[in-house]
Amino acid sequence: MDGIDHLADERNKAQFDVDAMKIVWAGSRHAFEVSDRISKLVAADPGFRKDNRPMLGRNELFKNTLRKAAYAWKRIIELHLSEEEAAKLRFYVDEPAYTDLHWGMFVPAIKGQGTEEQQQKWLPLAYKMQIIGCYGQTELGHGSNVQGLETTATFDPQTDEFVIHSPTLTSSKWWPGGLGKVSTHGVIYARLITDGRDHGVHGFIVQLRSLEDHSPLPGITVGDIGMKFGNGAYNTMDNGVLRFDHVRIPRDQMLMRVSQVTREGKYMQSDVPRQLVYGTMVYVRQTIVADASCALSRAVCIATRYSAVRRQFGSQDGGPESQVIDYKTQQNRLFPLLASAYAFRFVGEWLKWLYTDVTQRLQTNDFSTLPEAHACTAGLKSVTTTATADGIEECRKLCGGHGYLCTSGLPELFAVYVPACTYEGDNIVLLLQVARFLMKTVSQLGSGKKPVGTTSYMGQIEHLMQCRSNVQRAEDWLKPSAILEAFESRAARMSVACAQNLTKFTNPEEGFAELSADLVEAAVAHCQLIIVSKFIEKLLQDIPGKGVREQLEALCNIYALFLLHKHQGDFLSTGCITAKQASLANDQLRSLYSQVRPNAIALVDAFNYTDHFLGSILGCYDGNVYPKLYEAAWKDPLNDSVVPEGYHEYIRPLLKQNLRTARL
């Protein structure tokens, strides 16, 4: 537009090396270079335009997504992109599509649950996209309760086949992304039945559509489940409905790493735990934590830049009004979200490490860390997606009225993001899994079994149950040891209180149900401790770049002290801190906001998002918001004509009639 950087003064205030921070955010110099190169490539390519998304009808929108996915694949091949680069390209194209499920769930399900032979047969086809797959687990009647699924896979020893069938309406597959209109195949979860015996839910590779003309194969009824929340947004995805009428598949299409059915129809279990059938969900939950930091940082980048541009009140002697970012209330809403984006980034990095470690152990039949990996992925998925969904909405409000415009980018981001609280496991259901894990850990404390990994803090349970914080001045809250002790004792005491209350019930399951709200709170406390401690651990690493460590320390303290302030009821009622110490934490938080304020724009610049990816006039890099908003308004299809369509039918007759009434 005018070519001026309206945020230049803000950028000049930065007290740290932004380029070094970009590398910390990306995870490594290599990751930064790939991300930077691919994001610019996508931004410069008109084939990936997305600003018209909210205006398109469903059919047009969907066709456009098909076009983009095919074009993205073409570019991936032409440019010989590596797997890492291709994944980045799909990320920056920034449009939910069937490919997310193909690469994100179908392929990992075959990798995780298929035998070597099955992988050799199916993966090359999937890698070349000669088949397109989805993940068909959820049904109309059951999503959270996987054991309640009703689709059946009955072995027929006569023909050496499984017969896949949907016995009831509620057994219809419902929700799988990519299923509605695109997938040729699916990993379908169904109850395995051999010789009249039900062996529970297992995965099967089922072909759904002809590879010749894309029509559904005999016995298959398939379609899209309809429009979802928001314009554009997740409606680019064909979430589907699917029914089977006695569809036959060969026996070797049951995913047989965990259990097998022999030619004679004998059911056999490997010595790997049954829970590996749930392995794909563990993998995806881990990626969702990393995605949370992307979505939240994106919203925070928009809200921070706009808060520096926007001015309201406070003009002195005819001078400029105050930037809204200088209001303490704005900082108190915005900076904890900025800190959360960084916190989720680092815990996501750690979770990826944990997942890789578990996968390597599984290959050598070491299953010891699987329960912890399940608890961590489930809990962190839940806590980070809830905070991110709420955070995006808060960012919209931080942008005032303009945040409600689609051109702010925030409504669509919110609409796309909120289902993350539900898919891949409802957040409450997942926290209850964490709570079960914690109750098990507490119950084993007396047995001499040493808690490990993220529950190792419970090893000092006597200390944590009676310690009192020794914070005396606001600055004492900057000590990692003070923060850790407060978070550890809060989490331990909440878990122990739940465990003690559970003993009052003769039936433990009844007790668990009755106390489930408290158990969820204990699980949240445990997960927040993990996030805080992983941020603190990150700061123990070598962090090059002028001033970078100091900024990260400030953000880490903001994240922890904001949580402490928000959940001070927990900290006070469990006696971990006093009212005076809670108030000191709040004093410290205010001074941390002042420390972050001059660096705020640089801290969001470190995300290195292009204007194309942000998709937001309010968040544009140069801060030239008003001319861009004004220009964009005139491009709205409603402004194609000065007098709107419908004037002659609906406005003119009304005005005429009112004129007659007025004359009377």
Ligand X SMILES: Cc1cc2nc3c(=O)[nH]c(=O)nc-3n(C[C@H](O)[C@H](O)[C@H](O)COP(=O)(O)OP(=O)(O)OC[C@H]3O[C@@H](n4cnc5c(N)ncnc54)[C@H](O)[C@@H]3O)c2cc1C
Q: Which two tokens stand for residue 498?
A: 């739940």
| Residue in the block written with tokens 């918001």 | 625
Give yes or no for residue 217 binding ligand X (CB under 6 A): no
User: Whose CA is closest to 453, among 384, 346, 525, 357?
Assistant: 357
**What sign does the dihedral 215-217-221-225 (CA atoms) show?**
negative
DSSP string, 383-412: HHHHHHHHHHHHHHHHTGGGGGSGGGSHHH
Q: What are the helix (H) ranges across 94-144? A: 98-101, 107-113, 116-127
- Out of 175, 417, 559, 562, point to the residue binding ligand X (CB under 6 A): 175
Q: Which two tokens stand for residue 71?
A: 């074009």
Q: Which of residues 417-476 bind ligand ST9 (CB under 6 A)?
A: 423-425, 429, 433, 436
Nearest by Cα to 435 from 518, 355, 504, 314:
518
Is 27 marked as a binding-site residue?
A: no
Contact residue for ligand ST9 among 372, 393, 412, 605 (CB under 6 A): 412
The catalytically annotated residue of 95, 150, 424, 488 is 424
Tell me which of ligand ST9, ligand X, none is bound by residue 442, counting a contact when its beta carbon lies within the kind-specific cut-off of 5 to 8 angstroms.
none
Q: Is 424 a catalytic residue?
A: yes
Q: Which of 101, 435, 523, 617 binds ligand X (CB under 6 A)?
A: 101
Task: Give the span between the Cα atoms of 341 and 358, in whole angstroms.
Answer: 25
Shortest Å, Cβ 393 to ligand X: 17
Nearest-CA neighbor of 243 among 192, 170, 330? 170
* Residue 425 contacts ligand X per CB under 6 A: yes
What CA–CA distance (Å, rounded) separates 222 from 209?
Answer: 9
For residues 137 and 441, which CB has a smaller minimum distance to ligand X in the complex?
A: 137
317-332 burial string, b = 16+ CB within 10 Å, else e? eeeeebbbbebeebbe
386 binds ligand X (CB under 6 A): no
Q: How many residues does the chain have?
A: 664
Residue 412 interacts with, from ligand X, ligand ST9, none (CB under 5-8 Å by kind) = ligand ST9
Instruction: Tell me: does residue 410 bind ligand ST9 (CB under 6 A).
Output: no
Among 137, 154, 297, 551, binds ligand ST9 (CB under 6 A): 137
Residues 66-105 that bind ligand ST9 (CB under 6 A): 94, 96, 100, 104
Rounded Cα gap, residues 662 and 650, in angstroms: 19
Q: Please, which residue, 272 or 429, has the CB nearer to ligand X?
A: 429
**Nearest to ligand X of 363, 507 (CB atom):** 507
Q: Is 559 in the site for ligand X (CB under 6 A)?
A: no
The one-letter amino acid at 463: H
8 Å CB contact between 403 and 333? no
One residue of 112, 114, 133, 143 binding ligand X per CB under 6 A: 143
Q: Residue 24 binds which one of ligand ST9, ligand X, none, with CB within 5 to 8 A depending on kind?
A: none
User: From residue 246 to residue 275, what is the string marking binding to ligand ST9 with x (rule CB under 6 A)?
Assistant: -----------------------------x
177 marked ligand binding residue: yes
**Looking at 64-72, 116-124, 171-179, 646-654, which segment touches ligand X (CB under 6 A)?**
171-179
The amino acid sitting at 254 is: M
How far, in Å, are 110, 178, 242 from residue 174 at the CA level? 21, 11, 7
**Which residues from 511-540 bind ligand X, rule CB under 6 A?**
none
Looking at 567-646, list the stretches that DSSP marks H as alpha helix, in order from N- to C-terminal side.
568-573, 579-596, 600-605, 611-614, 625-634
Active site residues: 424
The residue ranges that bind ligand X (CB under 6 A) are: 101, 135-138, 142-144, 175-177, 234, 239, 419, 422-426, 428-429, 432
The residue ranges that bind ligand ST9 (CB under 6 A) are: 94, 96, 100, 104, 135, 137-138, 144-147, 177, 275, 278, 281-282, 370-371, 374, 412-413, 416, 423-425, 429, 433, 436
